[in-house]
């Protein structure tokens, strides 16, 4: 059996989507041929083989999609709360029937192990749909203060730009609240992982989203992404991706003074306080960092441990890394799949080499593929000890399965190291005393802190400080992002 057969690569990515639609964009409720442009081969990262080619849209396609969204906006903005709740419930119902298909497509296009794409990525997407319905049922779009009325109204046409590392979940954190708000939109997914977005478009179509409300244009950032950001008829850009790309989006959007909502990179610290259960905390931290092969903006890549526990922590981390199974992402037993692309693999290799050159101690993993894997963008689960602040691997967002262990002398120093980064997305604190962990969390300059292995709360605001972005997603804060405030003074008495 070939590696392609083992990873379940089909001749086309969908059972139900006609192959010719891969060469189309979705505008005004229909799949249509793009206005010129080129095609792009989507590579299965587990096999390095092309799966299919998609059409890359152009600025002309963006113009058509934005015009469709602009035409659809007045009617959809005026739809009732009940109508939008009913629509979102239909979307959730259809999504549920196609979750397994979606999970397999995600595994094929971005390499996430099937147990993760089914058990986490698509499950989280379903949760976001359910949560936005719950929020919409009681959300206050209007508030009266005497004869002043404060209204929250849909901001307008939204450009949504989503990444490859958690495609459908990131799409839903934008599309679901935009629909709930009454906005219309144009989505540009990553060209590295576009099939899940195309399947999601089918889901929206089947659920009966009115034509023009949702539009899809595949393409790259410099062409379609910048055309969306610059477009004068786009009222808001919601972007998730790297900080570097986020800066370009903000620059492109600046002349039209549109709202720019960004969730960008991170370099999360994981502070193990002296009283923490060292083995439990280290193993949990390593496993959390290596989830999605380290390709996560919230990955706890910097493990901060008391100096007198550093050697033991390194041994525990190395053992934890070596127990993880890397390989065929379609295999239910696989823990780590491949990195998404050759470029991502090469970058991770360069940073591992830099860590070795800088004098950090390699205690697990290292350069190259794991033993037994001769192709695919698989990286070895890697742990560095004796890392000191200022090393490249301590500063740069690696976006791969690499943990760096940093020893600290005092809790004050640990907090200072955690905060000494241009990023401010997430952090982690471990302690047997929850109140002590919470006290440390209060001093961390970031938007989201996980204490003692707690999982995410999709009803609470998610987002970053500093160069990790602005604005918040999830729950009512995600809905807030797609609404504009209007104050009416001198209104009739309520």
Catalogue the active-site residues. Answer: 263, 297
Q: Helix or strand or coil: residue 139?
A: coil
Asked if 131 contacts 459 with a C-beta cutoff of 8 angstroms, the reply is: yes
| Backbone φ and ψ of 306, nearest 5° | -60, 145
Nearest to 235 by CA among 491, 492, 493, 483: 483
Pairing mode, if any, of strands 382-385 and 361-364? Answer: antiparallel
| Burial (Cβ within 10 Å: 0-12, 13-18, ≥19) of residue 461 | middle
The span from the CA of 313 to the CA of 282, in Å, is 7
Please name the residue ranges forming H helices in 323-480: 342-358, 392-395, 411-419, 434-441, 475-480
The span from the CA of 475 to the CA of 295, in Å, is 24
Asked if 321 contacts 423 with a C-beta cutoff of 8 angstroms, the reply is: no
Nearest to 390 by CA among 409, 404, 410: 404
Q: Helix or strand or coil: residue 423?
A: strand
Q: Which residue has the tokens 């400080």?
A: 465
Which stretch of DSSP H or E encloses residue 102? helix 99-110
Nearest to 172 by CA among 96, 253, 69: 96
What number of residues does the chain have? 494
Listing from the earlier edge strand, what are the strands of the sheet with 214-216?
30-32, 25-27, 214-216, 184-188, 157-161, 236-240, 259-263, 469-470
């Amino acid at each position: 059996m070939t590696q392609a057969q083992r990873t379940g690569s089909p001749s086309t990515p969908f059972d139900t989507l006609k192959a010719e639609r891969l060469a189309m964009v979705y505008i005004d409720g229909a799949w249509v041929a793009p206005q010129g442009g080129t095609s792009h081969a989507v590579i299965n990262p587990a096999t390095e083989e092309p799966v299919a080619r998609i059409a890359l849209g152009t600025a002309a396609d963006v113009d058509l999609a934005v015009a469709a969204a602009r035409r659809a906006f007045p009617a959809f903005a005026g739809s009732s709360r009940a109508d939008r709740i009913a629509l979102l419930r239909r979307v959730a119902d259809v999504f549920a029937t196609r979750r397994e298909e979606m999970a397999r497509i995600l595994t094929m296009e971005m390499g996430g192990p099937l147990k993760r794409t089914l058990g986490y990525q698509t499950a989280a997407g379903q949760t976001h749909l359910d949560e936005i319905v719950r929020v919409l049922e009681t959300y206050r779009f209007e508030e009266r203060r005497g004869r002043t009325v404060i209204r929250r109204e849909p901001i307008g046409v939204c450009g949504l730009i989503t990444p490859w590392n958690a495609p459908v979940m990131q799409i839903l954190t934008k599309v679901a609240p935009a629909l709930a708000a009454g906005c219309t939109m144009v989505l540009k997914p990553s060209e590295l992982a576009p099939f899940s977005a195309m399947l999601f478009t089918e889901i929206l179509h089947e659920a009966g989203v009115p034509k023009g409300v949702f539009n899809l244009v595949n393409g790259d950032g410099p062409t379609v992404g910048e055309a969306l950001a610059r477009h004068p008829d786009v009222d808001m850009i919601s972007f998730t991706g790297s900080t570097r790309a986020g800066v370009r989006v903000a620059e492109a959007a600046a002349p039209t003074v549109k709202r720019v909502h960004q969730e960008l990179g991170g370099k999360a610290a994981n502070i193990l306080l002296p009283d923490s259960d060292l083995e439990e905390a280290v193993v949990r931290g390593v496993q959390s960092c290596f989830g999605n092969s380290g390709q996560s903006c919230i990955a706890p890549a910097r493990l901060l441990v008391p100096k007198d526990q550093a050697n033991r922590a390194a041994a525990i981390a190395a053992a934890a890394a070596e127990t993880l199974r890397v390989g065929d992402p379609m295999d239910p037993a696989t823990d780590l799949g491949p990195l998404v692309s050759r470029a991502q693999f090469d970058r991770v290799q360069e940073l591992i080499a830099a860590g070795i050159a800088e004098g950090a101690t390699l205690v697990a993993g290292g350069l190259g593929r794991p033993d037994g894997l001769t192709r695919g963008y698989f990286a070895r689960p890697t742990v560095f000890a004796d890392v000191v602040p200022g090393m490249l691997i301590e500063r740069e967002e690696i976006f791969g399965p690499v943990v760096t262990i940093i020893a600290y002398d005092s809790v004050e120093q640990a907090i200072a190291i955690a905060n000494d980064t241009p990023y401010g997305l997430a952090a982690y604190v471990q302690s047997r005393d929850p109140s002590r962990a919470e006290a440390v969390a209060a001093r961390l300059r970031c938007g989201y802190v996980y204490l003692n292995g707690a999982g995410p709360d999709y009803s609470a605001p998610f987002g970053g400080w500093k160069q990790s972005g602005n604005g918040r997603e999830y729950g009512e804060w995600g809905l807030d992002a797609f609404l504009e405030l209007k104050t009416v003074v001198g209104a009739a008495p309520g």
